[in-house]
Each structure stands twice: as C-alpha cells, then as structure tokens.
Amino acid sequence: MTSVRPDRSVLLEKLGVDIDSELLERALTHRSYAYEHGGIPNNERLEFLGDSILGQAVTVKLFRENPDLDEGDLAKRRASLVSSVALAEVARGIGLGEFLLLGRGEDQSGGRDKASILADTVEAIIGAAYIDAGGEAATALVLRLVEPLLGDPDRFGAAMDPKTSLQEAAAHRGAGLPHYTVTNTGPDHSKLFHATVEVAGLVVATGEGTSKKQAEMSAALSAWTQLTQRRARTPRG
C-alpha cells in the first residue's frame, strides 16, 4: 500500500518561493529513503550549499542591524540562529516534517521530528532555492525563515542558550536543577545522541543531535517551550 504524499504546493506557499518540483523532491530526500530506493540522489549536496548561504545571510543581517555588538556577541548570535536546534524550530513552524522522504526505519523511529534531520532539510531547501531562484531569492528565504526567532526575544534567547533558559525557568517555578540523561546509538564515526531532561514535577522532554551538547540543547529547548506554554495557558486568579 502506497501512502499519499502531502501537497507540496502548501509547503512552497509557506516558504514563499517557487522551486522546481524535481529539485524540491531532492531537497526533501533523506539518505535513508535514497538508500531504500536504489541509491537515488539525496539532499546532502544541497544541504552543503544551503549551509553556506544560510551563514552568509544571517551574518550580514546581524552585522547591519546590530552596530553596537562586538565580534564575539555577533558570533554567538549567528551560532544560535544557524544551529540545528534553531533550524529545527523553524522547520516545525512550517510543518516540514510531514513532507520529508524518509526510509521506513527512520520514519518509524520518529525521524520526522528529529532536530538534525529537520535542520539539514531546511538547509537543503535553501540550497535548492539558490539553484532555482537565485541568490537574492535564497537570501530572502533565509530571512523569512529566521524572522520568527528574531521577532520573539524570549524564544531567541532560549534558542541561543536553551540550557540556561530552562534552568532559569525552572528556578522561577521553584523547581530544582534540570536533570539530563544522555545515550547514544550508531557507529563511532556516525553517532547519534539522545537526551532526556526532567524538571522535577513539571516536565520531561527529549532531544537528539550529533553531539551530546546538541542533544541536551534540543531537549532543553523542548522543555523550555513546554514550560512557557504551560504558563501562558494558566488562568490568572
């Protein structure tokens, strides 16, 4: 039985850029899907290109809009905006997960919400936009994608330093320090780390990444999001 693919015109509308259907398909193709379908092209080359365009666009924006920040602060902000944690947030905001082409095993293990896969796909889409629509359109796409983070100071701060933000949110609620547990899977040259963070009595969240730090950051941002959403839903007496 063949599953029905979602209408990609919906995704293109959210992105605000036209990308050739074949090129978009490649941008959405994870290596696990490519392997299961006879070694068809995957999105890794587009990801490589998109990573460069993303970095340049974010660097220029931060440089122009923050004349009072020194090189160190600019570098920190750039690192936060191009991190897998932040890009995964961007991807979730546009519902990118449902459009991914994943192998069965990756799909069944929750690949549609894995930060590393989502982030890589965002970069691949940026690369595809550059090839099909040009540098100006690709840069405009980057700025649209990161705008939700830049427009939300609290979320930007959390994406910049999720572990500190979570610790502060936990302390504000009278809870103890967040507790992290990290495991890993895969061969030494390609390990994937899985982190679980618990804020006693308040929230448990998970995250993953290609390093222990990245996995903990992803879990921390997820926990921070749950805590802040919970506070927003709590009625005032």
Residue ranges for the known binding site are 47, 120, 123
Q: Are 32 and 42 in contact (CB under 8 A)?
A: no
Distance CA(82)–CA(55), nearest Å, equals: 7
Sign of the four-CA dihedral 196, 199, 204, 208: negative
Distance CA(215)–CA(162), nearest Å, equals: 11
Distance CA(63)–CA(48), nearest Å, equals: 23
Residue ranges for the known binding site for Mg(2+) are 47, 120, 123
CA proximity to 222, closest of 176, 155, 175: 155
In angstroms, the Cα distances linking 192 to 124, 147, 188 are: 20, 29, 9
**What burial class does residue 223 get, using C-beta atoms within 10 Å of its C-beta: 0-12 exposed, 13-18 middle, 19+ buried?**
buried
Output DSSP code: residue 17: S
Output DSSP code: residue 94: T
Active-site positions read 51, 123
Q: How many helices (H) and strands (E) does the chain have?
A: 12, 3
